[in-house]
Amino acid sequence: MEKELSSIHYDKYLQLNKILAAQKLRSAEFGTEAHDEMLFIIIHQVYELWFKEIIHDLNSVIAIFKPEVVEESQIGVAISRLDRIAKIQKILVDQIDIIETMTPLDFLDFRNYLLPASGFQSFQFRQLEVSLGLKRDNRISYTQCAYSGVFSQKEQDILNEIEEGDSLFDLVEKWLERIPFLKFETFDFLSEYQIAVDKMIAIEQKAINEAHYITAQEKHFRLQMLNESSKYFKTIFDEELHNEKIANGDLKLSYKATISTLLINLYRDEPILRQPFLFLQKLIDIDELLTTWRNRHAQMVLRTLGQKIGTGGSSGFDYLKKTADKHRIFYDLHNISTLLIPRSELPKMPETLKKKLNFNFSN
Ligand code: HEM
């Protein structure tokens, strides 16, 4: 039987009685109320609420990419959800300004009452990292114990299940590997691209050799630098080398997925590749904003604690700073920019392929 619709009051709908009763100052409990503990509690609660919304949206994007065939009409939905996540992340970064209004001395008024509570125990933050694709082996360890050891058995099981399943990174990688058009009739994208790259490097070499305004020593130096940057291109033409870099931990994205990403980036102006391009851009936004948050949080910790160790037992600032570099998930998507060549040098696609990449609304 259908439930009868009844009216509801604002307070009840939002369960404000629970939310607004959830700010219990430990300092007050121990008889020395610290004014800024209210801000400290509220800001963490607000973060956790936004984490909840982010995970809700992220899970819906993961669900879109789970099937073997991703429905094309859903890519637009995925882009909007990722865009919302990125907008929330901007707020999360900005909120650090608010916590920074609390001075180090104000914090010391109640810090001892928090021990050993720490951001390390934010289950939702770990859930977010793992769902995006951060793997256990790629984490910076701060003790001999697993990062998940601070959680209940039930929570650890959930984290393990997410980690063993498909993260957003895994699903996007598989989707990229399935993208067609790398070889189409007589068009072999990679060999055409190699010709264009060789031509571009030869033009740059010639320009340096023929420049009259630099000394022979400077020429030598610039040619050496050009040679160094050309090495980046070697990996894209050599699957074995690419796989070696994956094994060393220098790269994460598979060879095939990397080539598809390159194709999408180079031919982004073709109508059918526009949505995949925007989707990849959103992943880069999210990765960049998470790194920005990590850096801002680390800076805030430095100014609040200096070199003091964290309540969770890490080295504090030093540990957090390292996570900003090491815990990136979509780093390989950023690095595709190294491999881009000017539009004027792009290999021409055969007309039949160009037609396939068009929406064909008109003749
Ligand atoms: C005065 C404010 C803050 C201080 C001094 C502080 C300090 C720290 C320190 C020292 C750590 C390293 C772990 C440890 O040893 O405890 C840490 C981790 C963390 N904090 Fe904060 N924090 C503050 C505010 C916040 C806020 C507002 C959030 C929002 C949720 C937050 C979320 C986290 C998270 C998620 C981690 C784990 C990071 C990782 O392992 O990558 N912190 N915090």
pLDDT tens-digit readout, 312-326: 888 999 999 999 999
Question: Cβ(114) to ligand 1 under 6 A?
Answer: no
Question: Cβ(233) to ligand 1 under 6 A?
Answer: no
Pairwise CA distance, residues 24 & 28, whole Å: 8
Q: Which atom of ligand 1 is found nearest the CA of 95?
A: 27
Confidence of residue 363 (pLDDT cuts 50, 70, 90): very low
Q: Kindly give the distance from the C-alpha atom of residue 73 to the centroid of ligand 1, in angstroms, as a whole number.
A: 39
Pick the CATH number of 10-356 from 1.20.1290.10, 3.30.70.360, 3.30.70.20, 1.20.58.480: 1.20.58.480
Q: 55-59, 111-115, 133-137: which has the highest mean pLDDT?
A: 55-59
Pairwise CA distance, residues 261 & 177, whole Å: 9
Confidence of residue 223 (pLDDT cuts 50, 70, 90): very high
Confidence of residue 64 (pLDDT cuts 50, 70, 90): very high
Q: What is the pLDDT of residue 362?
A: 54
Q: Which residue has the higher pLDDT, 252 or 181?
A: 252
Decide if pLDDT at 156 tops 90: yes
pLDDT > 90 fraction of the chain, expressed in percent and rounded: 80
Question: Cβ(305) to ligand 1 under 6 A?
Answer: yes
The lowest-confidence range among 133-137, 210-214, 253-257 is: 210-214
Confidence of residue 351 (pLDDT cuts 50, 70, 90): confident
- Count the Cβ atoms, other than its own, within 10 Å of residue 301: 19
Q: Which atom of ligand 1 is found nearest the CA of 327?
A: 41
Question: Cβ(311) to ligand 1 under 6 A?
Answer: yes
Q: What DSSP character marks residue 266?
A: H
Q: Kindly give the distance from the C-alpha atom of residue 128 to the centroid of ligand 1, in angstroms, as a whole number.
A: 15
Q: Which residue has the higher pLDDT, 7 or 182?
A: 7
The DSSP code sequence of 26-42 is: HHHHTT---TTHHHHHH
Q: What is the pLDDT of residue 229?
A: 80
User: The pTM is what?
Assistant: 0.93
Contact indicator for 28, 40 with CB cutoff of 8 Å? no
CA-nearest of 229, 243, 207, 228 to 339 is: 229
Rg (CA), the chain: 25
Q: What residues does each domain of the chain span?
A: 10-356
Beta-carbon-side half-sphere exposure of residue 179 (alpha carbons within 13 Å)? 26
